[in-house]
Amino acid sequence: MSVWSENSRAALLSVLILALALLAWELAIPAQHLATEMTEYERLMGGGSARAGIPAPSQVAVKAWEQLSNPFYDAGPNDKGIGIQIAYSLGRVLTGYGMAALIAIPLGFLIGMSPVAYKALNPFIQVLRPISPLAWMPLALFIIQDSEASAIFVIFICSIWPMLLNTAFGVSGVRADWVNVARTHELGSLRTALTVILPAAAPTIITGMRISIGIAWLVIVAAEMLVGGTGIGYYVWNEWNNLDLSSVIFSILLIGIVGMLLDSVFAVLQRRLTYAE
């Protein structure tokens, strides 16, 4: 019988796996020769080893410490702190996502309430939904003529569909009994929508919002690689051009962590709004 709870055993195992993986990675990177020990040719070829460019975890950790200890410095267009880059990305994601939510949730409500509207709009949604958001980029750049706004538009277009469909699905699936409760209590349509249909559909709507924020965070990296200038996606690409792989690996990790945080905000909301029947 273990004295440890299931959670603490799982946490211990996680730490163990991480430690082993980092150790294996560290050992797999051949020791770097000091530049002074190498010939001119070896130095030009990247240290004489094919894998010399891949940094060890210790090097990534050093880089991470360096970046995180001063995240908001701004030394010109090509040298900004990681905090500033993340802030740019989050700003774009939240702007595009917010606009999408403002349109998708009310529109999804109407579509969900009216079977005719649902059937009429469904073909458009089904065609537009599978389009890769980046495919809109040239058109967006041409029409909007502004790279910043185009990136936001791409976020908008990719996050609108899950929210729209989930809202419509959630609203149309509200149990007739609950609507009848509202009817027998003589509630007007606005109060019915706000006090019965919205809370009844809330878990489904939040699921849609959670899917959307995930997609938006995936897409922003690619979009920023294309439009350039600022943002975490641009940062990754810029560091690749600088052949600074420690920074690339560090920013990949950071993208994952920010995405996890965004998702967990919606997980909390979802838990709060979900009800058991």
Partner 1 sequence: MSKPFVSVELLSQRFPDGKGGRMTVFENASFGIEKGEFVVILGHSGCGKSTIMNILAGLAQPTSGVVTMDGTEISGPSLDRGVVFQNYSLLPWLTALGNVRFGVRARHPDWSRAKVDEVSTEYLSMVGLSAEAIHRKPSQLSGGMRQRVSIARAFANHPKLLLLDEPFGALDALTRGTIQDELLKIWGGTNQTVFMITHDIDEAILLADRILLMTNGPFARVAESVQITIPRPRTRTDIVDHPNYYPIRNHLVQFLGKRSKELAGQASGGAAQSPDRVRIDLTAPPAPAPAHLRAIAE
Rule CB under 8 A: is residue 271 a binding residue for partner 1? no
The answer to whether residue 25 forms part of the interface with partner 1 (CB under 8 A) is: no
Taking the complex as a whole, the smallest distance from the CB of residue 244 to partner 1 amounts, in Å, to 51
Choosing from 127, 142, 177, 190, the residue that interacts with partner 1 (CB under 8 A) is 177
Binding residue for partner 1 (CB under 8 A) from 199, 252, 253, 264? 199
Q: Does 111 bind partner 1 (CB under 8 A)?
A: no
141 contacts partner 1 (rule: CB under 8 A): no
CA angle 269, 275, 277 (to 5 degrees): 165
Instruction: For the CB of residue 176, give the shortest distance to partner 1 in the complex, in Å.
Output: 9
Window contacting partner 1 (CB under 8 A); options: 135-143, 161-169, 177-185, 228-236: 177-185
- The closest of 137, 171, 177, 174 to 156, measured between CA atoms, is 137
| Spatial distance between the Cα atoms of 212 and 196, rounded to a whole number of angstroms | 24
Helix (H, G, I), strand (E, B) or coil at 45: coil
- Residue type for 225, please? M
Nearest to 136 by CA among 160, 112, 117: 160
Contact 68, 82 (CB under 8 A): yes
Shortest spacing between CB 109 and partner 1, in angstroms: 17
- Binding partner 1 by CB under 8 A: which of 36, 39, 184, 241? 184
Which amino acid, residue 54?
Answer: I
- Least distance (Å) from partner 1 to the CB of residue 202? 8
Binds partner 1 (CB under 8 A): choice among 165, 196, 213, 227: 196
Distance CA 192, CA 180 (A): 10
84, two tokens: 């500033």
From 7-15, 193-201, 226-234, 263-271, span contacting partner 1 (CB under 8 A): 193-201
Tell me the H-state helices in 29-81: 40-44, 57-69
Identify which range of 10-18, 31-39, 143-151, 173-181 contacts partner 1 by CB under 8 A: 173-181
Residue 202 makes contact with partner 1 by CB under 8 A: yes
* Burial classification of residue 258, based on how many CB atoms lie within 10 Å of its CB (0-12 exposed, 13-18 middle, 19 or more buried): middle
Contact positions toward partner 1, by CB under 8 A?
A: 177-178, 180-181, 183-187, 195-196, 199-200, 202, 273, 275-277
